[in-house]
Amino acid sequence: CGEYQKVLNKGTVQEQYQMATKVYEEQKYNKAIQLFEKITPSYRGKPQMERIQYMVAQSHYNTKLYSLAAYYFDKFVKNYPKSSKVEEAAYLSAHSYYLASPVYSLDQKDTQEAITALQNFIFKYPESDKVIEANKNIKELTFKLEKKSFEIAKQYYHTTDYIAAIVAFDNLLSDYLGTSFREEAMYYKFKSAYELGINSFIAKKEDRIKDALKSHERFKRNYPKSDYLNETEKLVNNLTEELNSLLALKTEN
């Protein structure tokens, strides 16, 4: 790589450009990126820039630096809206965000970006053959966001913080209306309400038990055939019993 180093450090801009294209075509993307970085200021505003920007984005994509690839493809789309590669770049930008999106339990900034980018792509190129794939990806990413919200709510339930769990499951249900976690979320919301009600101190017990019963009604109405009903009906019985004895105590006084 003696020649590469020589060109990188001492070559003229033209030599560096030629070398960059060469190593890019040889799929030595890391080397290409280094050279592209050097020549970018000199080619700003020149016709070669279109090609350079595309290759920079591709190099990042091929070295699996998807966040950067997404950024550069997006920049390419904005700078060269008339390019013949614009549709491909728009898709690759969105797809890079999709690939950069991490597991649900980490920050989902890239997931949000990916959803927006994929939606924009579908809107702009409805005829593209990538639309089916893009739609599939959007579904997958939305599911990831739902799962995140669900797992956070479930953690509140798991750590026996039922007040927080109820609100968190409500947030999930209102943020993602058609979520595939709807049944489970309603089930856990009822369970949280049940635990909160049954273990409540006396002053708030009546209200909390009533809330729990209401949330079960809603659950049952929505999922009359749910497998969870076996378990929840028993809990409802407990609640009604508890409520009755509470009311009996009240009338006695």
Partner 1 sequence: QEIKENELKEIQAKVDTIVKDSIQPTTPKTSAFIKENSYELGGISVKGLQKFEEQTVKVFTGLKVGQEIKLPGDKLTSAIKKLYETKQFSNVEVYISKIDGNVAYLEFEIEELPQLNNVTITGVKKNKAKDLQSDAELKKGAMVTDNLIVTTKNYFKKKYQEKGFLKTKVTLNTRPDSSQVNTVNMLVNIDKGEKIKIKNITFEGNDAFNQKKLRKALKNTKKKMIGRFWKGSKYIDANFKEDLENIVTTYSEKGFRDARVLDHSMTWNDDNTLNLNIKVEEGKKYLFGNIQFLGNSKYTDDHLQKILRIEKGDTYNGKVLKERVTGDGTPNSEDISTLYQNNGYLFSRVLPVETRVNNDSIDVEIRIYEDEPTKIKKVTVNGNDRTNDHVVYREIRTKPGYLYSKSDIIRTIREIGQLGFFDAESITPDINPNYQDKTVDIDYTVAEKGGSQIELQGGYGGGSFIGTLGLSFNNFSVRNLFNKKAYKPLPTGDGQSLSLRLQKSRYYTTSSFSFTEPWLGGKKPKSLSFSIYNSKQFRYNYLTNKVDKDQRLNIIGASIGLGQRLKWPDNYFTLSQSISYQLYDLKEYGMAIGNLTLSNGNLNNLAYNLTFARSSAGANPVFPTYGSDFSIGAKLTFPYSLVNDKDYSSLELSEKYKWLEYYKVSFKGKWYTALTKDLVVMTNTEFGILGNYNKELGDSPFERYFVGGDGMASYQLDGRETIALRGYENGRLSSIDGGTVYNKFQLELRYPITLKPSASIYALGFLEAGNSYDGFKNFNPFQLKRSAGLGLRIFMPAFGLLGIDFAHGFDPLPGGTEKSGWQTHFIIGQQF
- Least Å from the CB of residue 191 to partner 1: 15
Give the HSE-up count for residue 15: Cα atoms under 13 Å, Cβ half-sphere. 10
- Least Å from the CB of residue 165 to partner 1: 8
- Least Å from the CB of residue 15 to partner 1: 16
> Which has the closest alpha carbon to 99: 75, 80, 124, 117?
117
Given the rule CB under 8 A, which residues bind partner 1?
41-42, 44-47, 80-82, 102-107, 109, 148, 151-152, 155-156, 158-161, 163-164, 166-168, 171
Task: State how far the Cα of 230 lies from the Cα of 241, in Å rounded to an integer.
Answer: 18
Q: Which is nearer to partner 1, 47 or 178 (CB)?
A: 47
Residue partners of 86: CB distance under 8 A and separation at least 6: 76, 77, 80
Task: State how far the Cα of 62 lies from the Cα of 36, in Å rounded to an integer.
Answer: 15
Q: Which is nearer to partner 1, 95 or 148 (CB)?
A: 148
Q: Which is nearer to partner 1, 175 or 233 (CB)?
A: 175
Encoded tokens for 44: 């700003």
- Least Å from the CB of residue 110 to partner 1: 9
> Which has the closest alpha carbon to 39: 27, 61, 55, 63?
55
Task: State how far the Cα of 141 lies from the Cα of 232, in Å rounded to an integer.
Answer: 31
- Least Å from the CB of residue 128 to partner 1: 22
Q: Which is nearer to partner 1, 109 or 234 (CB)?
A: 109
Residue partners of 10: CB distance under 8 A and separation at least 6: none
- Least Å from the CB of residue 220 to partner 1: 23
Task: State how far the Cα of 23 lies from the Cα of 167, in Å rounded to an integer.
Answer: 56
Q: Which is nearer to partner 1, 22 or 205 (CB)?
A: 205
Q: Which is nearer to partner 1, 5 or 159 (CB)?
A: 159
Residue with tokens 């109405």: 221
